Structure 1
Amino acid sequence: MSEEEMIKRLRGDLLDGYDEELEMELEDRNIDAVAGVLTDSAEYHSARRQYFRELFRLQGELVKLQDWVATTKRKVVIIFEGRDAAGKGGVIKRITQRLNPRVARVVALPAPGDREKTQWYFQRYVPHLPAGGEMVLFDRSWYNRAGVERVMGFCTDGELEEFFRTVPEFEKMLVRSGIVLIKYWFSISDDEQNLRFLGRIHDPLKQWKLSPMDLESRRRWEAYTKAKEDMLERTHIPEAPWWVVPADDKKKARLNCITHLLSQLPYEEVERPEVVLPPRVRHEDYVRHPVPDSMMVPQRY
Structure 2
Amino acid sequence: MTDQSLHLAVATSRPAKGRRPPSRSYWHNVVRRLARDPVTMVCFVLLLLIILSAILAPWLAPYDPYKTSMARRLIAPGHARYWLGTDELGRDLLSRLLYGGRLSLFMGFTPVILATMIGGGLGVIAGYVGGALNMAIMRIIDVFYAFPSVLLAVAISGILGAGMVNAIVSLVLVFVPPIARIAESVTTQVRTQDFVDAARATGASNWLIVKDHVIPNVTGPILSYASSLISVAIVLASGLSFLGLGVVPPEAEWGSMLNTLRQSIYVAPLNSILPGVMIFVTSMCLNLMSDGLRSAMDVKQ
TM-score, normalised via structure 2 length: 0.27
Instruction: Please identify which structure carries the higher strand content.
Output: 1
Instruction: Please identify which structure carries the higher helix content.
Output: 2
In our comparison, the structure showing a higher alpha carbon Rg is 2
TM-score, normalised via structure 1 length: 0.27
